[in-house]
Amino acid sequence: MKLNIAVLPGDGIGPEVTAQAVKVLKAIAMEFNHVFTFDYGVVGASAIEKTGVALPQETIALCEKADAILFGAIGNAVYDMDPMAKIRPEQGLLGLRKTFDLYADVRPVIAYEDILDKSSLKKKQIKDTDILIYRELTSGIYFGEKTFSDDGNTATDTCQYTRFQIERIAHLAFIAAQKRKRKLTLVDKANVLASSKLWRKVIQEMAPQYPDVAVSYMYIDKAAMELAINPRQFDVILTENMFGDILSELAGVIVGSIGLLASASFSDKKAMFQPIHGAYNKASNQGIANPIAAILSAAMLLDHFELYDEASLVKEGVDKSLKLHITTPDLNTKYEHITTIKVGDFIEDFINNPDETNLNFTNIHLGQSTII
């Protein structure tokens, strides 16, 4: 298969982790005789520095002609301390979501057996957790009308949803549930918010179309607690933009590190793949950033193009790295100095030699082939 991928590494640790995802995709292309080409663009704070805006026209053009977008991370603490800044790195990501109408954000949450003890939650509670969060991504409070009064003392954000916006992502979530444990939980705040009442009404009306899916409804505050105490009860979680942002970050606690959480956002024509973590500028260029979320996002890209064997091989490589504790310091207490690049090298080597199990740890530390 021929694929042209727009690569937007972004800020902070974005370039380091994205480089590992690209490395893995190149290894897959070699092994399976695909032709993947990569075109690079700027976004976020690094784009502001170069061009004055967070999402330059050239970047949009690059993504337009690409089959898929591989995104790193954005953000910079400089902007975080200036809430009134007119130009912000996040506009790059939000602009991409809006420009390409990437309305369905899919965030898998899997508690890996080999690292259950890395979670601050109890092992017995998180074991076997396997959740798929469907987060609406192009509407709600993020994109509704905003005001800021001239005297600087009053501000509003509007949370607006239409039936169309709810139905299109809900169909995808129902279909996903049909292929899994056939459970769908709508997370909302329908006891208070008008937009949530609409979500609940629309899902209730749609549910009979999917009689094989058991639908439940949960308020966001309760869902946050349930996710921490009994995450196994969930299969597919469907929710609006802001609730999905918060719940998916909380899910990082279940898996042991936010550095493991991948995501994919879809419109009907375009798809973007992105680790859910931020730019973590403090950690950049130290080799400590976990590349697995970026690598698993690349696996989601492969799945999207129905390259299922390829995606499985990447996921197996990740599983193996976790099993052998070849991970960055956020997860690794066993060996020291396993860098971002070395984790990427290991998974690349695994793709090249999946049957070899004889690992050479000296070579890992020398940055050479990890398998002999």
Binding site for ligand IPM (CB under 6 A): 75, 90, 93-94, 245, 276, 278
Would you say 108 or 278 has its CB closer to ligand IPM?
278
Would you say 185 or 248 has its CB closer to ligand IPM?
248
Smallest gap from Cβ 249 to ligand IPM, in A, equals 7
Give the interface segment with Mg ion, choosing from 52-60, 82-90, 222-230, 242-250 (CB under 5 A).
Answer: 242-250
Would you say 245 or 310 has its CB closer to Mg ion?
245
Smallest gap from Cβ 227 to Mg ion, in A, equals 15
Give the interface segment with Mg ion, choosing from 23-31, 188-196, 237-245, 343-351 (CB under 5 A).
Answer: 237-245
Smallest gap from Cβ 274 to ligand IPM, in A, equals 7
List, in order, residues 6 or more apart from 16 with CB less than 8 Å away. Answer: 284, 285, 287, 289, 291, 340, 341
Would you say 160 or 353 has its CB closer to ligand IPM?
160
Would you say 56 or 75 has its CB closer to ligand IPM?
75
Smallest gap from Cβ 40 to Mg ion, in A, equals 24
Smallest gap from Cβ 44 to ligand IPM, in A, equals 9
Would you say 90 or 167 has its CB closer to Mg ion?
90
Tell me the site size for Mg ion, rule CB under 5 A. Answer: 1
136 binds, among Mg ion, ligand IPM, none (CB under 5 to 8 A by kind): none
Task: Give, in order, the Cα–Cα distances in Å from 295 to each of 41, 189, 292, 339.
Answer: 19, 34, 5, 15
Q: Please identify the residue of the shown chain whose CB is closest to the bound ligand IPM.
A: 90
Task: Assess contact for 231 and 111: CB atoms under 8 A.
Answer: yes
Backbone angles phi, psi at 212, to 5 degrees: -80, -5
22 binds, among ligand IPM, Mg ion, none (CB under 5 to 8 A by kind): none
**Cα(202)–Cα(35) distance, integer angstroms:** 43
Would you say 266 or 350 has its CB closer to Mg ion?
266
β-strand pairing of 130-136 with 104-110: antiparallel
Smallest gap from Cβ 43 to ligand IPM, in A, equals 11
90 binds, among ligand IPM, Mg ion, none (CB under 5 to 8 A by kind): ligand IPM
Give the interface segment with Mg ion, choosing from 41-49, 77-85, 124-132, 245-253 (CB under 5 A).
Answer: 245-253
264 binds, among ligand IPM, Mg ion, none (CB under 5 to 8 A by kind): none
Smallest gap from Cβ 245 to Mg ion, in A, equals 4
Smallest gap from Cβ 7 to ligand IPM, in A, equals 17
Among 245, 310, 345, 349, binds Mg ion (CB under 5 A): 245
Give the interface segment with Mg ion, choosing from 15-23, 30-38, 241-249, 281-289 (CB under 5 A).
Answer: 241-249
Would you say 56 or 317 has its CB closer to ligand IPM?
56
In the complex, the residues that contact Mg ion under the rule CB under 5 A are 245
